[in-house]
């Protein structure tokens, strides 16, 4: 069996790594990695390949940045050449980024079987580019691997045949389980006793200067009483610079370059709380039992709110302040770990793939 993994953006890498390694146990499977080049900075891509021990991509499509249509179209036209030449039996796509839908569309048109890892998640918010990518990829996929049971329910509601859907658990947690000991070894010794870890990069938060300015003020205010560490995504840095010029900066607010996987996980384990708009971090915080405040109106990962440590605050700054205050004074739900977030999701995927 010839199988191509398509990855392109930072959150894909920690999902593909364990699946690649689980499939290595089956000598009948020949694996190839295609990197679309959606993310190209060393600290958004290369460092993840190194730390996660992912082999060098066989092919890099080098599409780079652009509008959604440009990026998706470039990936499609370049990936079509690869699929036509290689004729794989199965293409695995990951998550909800533009690389995911672009590769799935190419395969669907060429009659090549598609597996979607992290299928079925829904925010029910079509203003998010990722929601469009999720909905369409799941319609096209032949094998749908869900991380949590809400995914199965969403897919059933959308008319996807149950025989295509496999509840396997969360591959992101596979990577976390494997690398947690390593990440803990690498925690810097000079970290403050207590701190808040922040990431923000969603267009809904960072592409709106007025809102970003308010969010920045909140972070500055909080950092007067507890240090705030904020590794800044390239998309956010551009927008934040204009906002910051107009405001005084608190010395407790530390803006950092994007961190490697091990550095970030290490910090997460020690954080008093994380404040984020990322999808994967809501899951990691739930697994680690670290309180998580999500600056979004909705989440495609409701299980992190229902059973985990996640609280959605949206754009409600009064609520954000209240939840921050309560959490820092020790009042937060401890949460529990969702079913099948046990470090073995990729083994289950591999078994389905070879069956
Ligand atoms: C993408 C995903 C998002 C994911 C995020 C994680 C889509 C629609 N969005 O968003 O779901 O949570 O990745 O990081 O696929 N840039 C760089 N260097 C890079 C990559 C990007 O400077 O290596 C800058 C470029 O200016 C680019 C901007 O960041 O225009 C946004 O990058 P893009 O890949 O379009 O989307 P993300 O915001 O990273």
pLDDT in tens, 216-250: 999 999 999 999 999 999 999 989 988 887 777 78
Task: Give catalytic residues, as residue numbers.
Answer: 201
> How far is the C-alpha of 25 from the C-alpha of 18, rounded, in Å?
12
pLDDT in tens, the chain (355 residues): 999 999 999 999 999 999 999 999 999 999 999 999 999 999 999 999 999 999 999 999 999 999 999 999 999 999 999 999 999 999 999 999 999 999 999 999 999 999 999 999 999 999 999 999 999 999 999 999 999 999 999 999 999 999 999 999 999 999 999 999 999 998 999 999 999 999 999 999 999 999 999 999 999 999 999 999 999 999 999 899 888 877 777 889 999 999 999 999 999 999 999 999 999 999 999 999 999 999 999 999 999 999 999 999 999 999 999 999 999 999 988 899 999 999 999 999 999 999 9
Is pTM beyond 0.95 here? Answer: yes
The SS3 of residue 293 is strand
- pLDDT (0 to 100) of residue 333: 86
* Nearest atom of ligand 1 to the alpha carbon of 66: 30
Kindly report the protein residue whose alpha carbon is nearest to atom 30 of ligand 1.
Answer: 65
**What's the gap in Å between 39 CA and the centre of ligand 1?**
6
CA 8 to chain centre: 12
> How far is the C-alpha of 89 from the C-alpha of 129, rounded, in Å?
29
In the structure, which protein residues have their CB atom closer than 6 angstroms to any atom of ligand 1? 9-11, 38-41, 44, 65, 96-98, 129-130, 201, 233-235
- Strand ranges in 139-242 using DSSP code E only, listed in sequence order: 143-146, 165-167, 196-199, 228-231
- pLDDT (0 to 100) of residue 45: 98
The SS3 of residue 199 is strand
Residue 193: count other Cβ atoms within 10 Å of its Cβ: 8
* Cβ–Cβ under 8 Å, residues 3 and 91: yes
Give the tens place of pLDDT for each residue, 172-219.
999 999 999 999 998 999 999 999 999 999 999 999 999 999 999 999
- pLDDT (0 to 100) of residue 246: 72
* Nearest atom of ligand 1 to the alpha carbon of 96: 11
Total residues found in the chain within this entry: 355
Q: Which residue, 75, 77, 72, is CA-closest to 62? A: 75
**What's the gap in Å between 203 CA and the centre of ligand 1?**
10
- pLDDT (0 to 100) of residue 36: 98
Q: Give every CB contact of residue 3 below 8 A, 6+ residues apart in sequence.
A: 23, 29, 30, 31, 32, 88, 89, 90, 91, 92, 353
**What's the gap in Å between 159 CA and the centre of ligand 1?**
31
* Cβ–Cβ under 8 Å, residues 260 and 47: yes
* Cβ–Cβ under 8 Å, residues 286 and 309: yes
Locate 247 and state its tokens. 């405001």
* Cβ–Cβ under 8 Å, residues 352 and 166: yes
> How far is the C-alpha of 103 from the C-alpha of 91, rounded, in Å?
8
* Cβ–Cβ under 8 Å, residues 155 and 146: yes
> How far is the C-alpha of 322 from the C-alpha of 222, rounded, in Å?
12
Residue with tokens 């925010």: 123
Which contiguous run of DSSP H or E holds residue 189? none
Kindly report the protein residue whose alpha carbon is nearest to atom 9 of ligand 1.
Answer: 97
CA distances from 30 to 22, 33, 348 (A): 12, 10, 18
CA 280 to chain centre: 4
CA-based R_g, the chain, Å: 20
* Nearest atom of ligand 1 to the alpha carbon of 238: 26
* Cβ–Cβ under 8 Å, residues 105 and 84: no
């Amino acid at each position: 069996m010839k199988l191509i993994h398509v990855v392109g953006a930072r959150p894909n890498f920690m999902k593909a790594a364990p699946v690649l390694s689980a499939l290595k146990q089956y000598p009948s499977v020949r694996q190839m990695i295609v990197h679309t080049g959606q993310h190209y900075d060393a600290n958004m891509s290369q460092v993840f390949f190194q730390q996660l021990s992912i082999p060098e991509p066989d092919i890099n499509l080098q599409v780079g940045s652009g509008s959604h249509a440009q990026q998706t179209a470039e990936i499609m036209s370049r990936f079509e050449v690869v699929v036509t030449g290689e004729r794989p039996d199965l293409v695995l796509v990951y998550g909800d980024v533009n690389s995911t839908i672009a590769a799935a569309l190419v395969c669907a048109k060429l009659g090549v079987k598609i597996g979607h890892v992290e299928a079925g998640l829904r925010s029910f918010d079509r203003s998010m580019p990722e929601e469009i990518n999720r909905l369409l990829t799941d319609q096209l996929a032949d094998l749908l691997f869900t991380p949590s049971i809400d995914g199965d329910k969403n897919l059933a509601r959308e008319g996807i045949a149950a025989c295509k859907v496999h509840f396997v658990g969360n591959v992101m947690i596979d990577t976390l389980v494997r690398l947690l000991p390593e990440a803990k070894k690498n925690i810097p010794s000079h970290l403050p006793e207590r701190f808040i870890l922040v990431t923000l990069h969603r267009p809904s938060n960072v592409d709106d200067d007025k809102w970003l300015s308010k969010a920045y003020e909140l972070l500055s205010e909080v950092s007067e009483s507890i240090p705030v560490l904020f590794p800044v995504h390239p998309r956010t840095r551009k927008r934040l610079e204009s906002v910051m010029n107009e405001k005084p900066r608190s010395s407790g607010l530390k803006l950092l370059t994007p961190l490697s996987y091990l550095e970030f996980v290490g910090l997460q384990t020690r954080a008093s709380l994380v404040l984020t708009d990322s999808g994967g971090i809501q899951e990691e915080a739930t697994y680690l039992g670290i309180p998580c405040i999500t600056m979004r109106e909705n989440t495609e990962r409701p299980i992190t709110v229902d059973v985990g440590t996640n609280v959605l605050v949206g754009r409600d700054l009064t609520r954000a302040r209240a939840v921050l205050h309560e959490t820092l004074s020790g009042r937060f739900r401890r949460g529990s770990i969702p079913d099948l977030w046990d470090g073995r999701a990729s083994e289950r995927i591999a078994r389905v793939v070879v069956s």
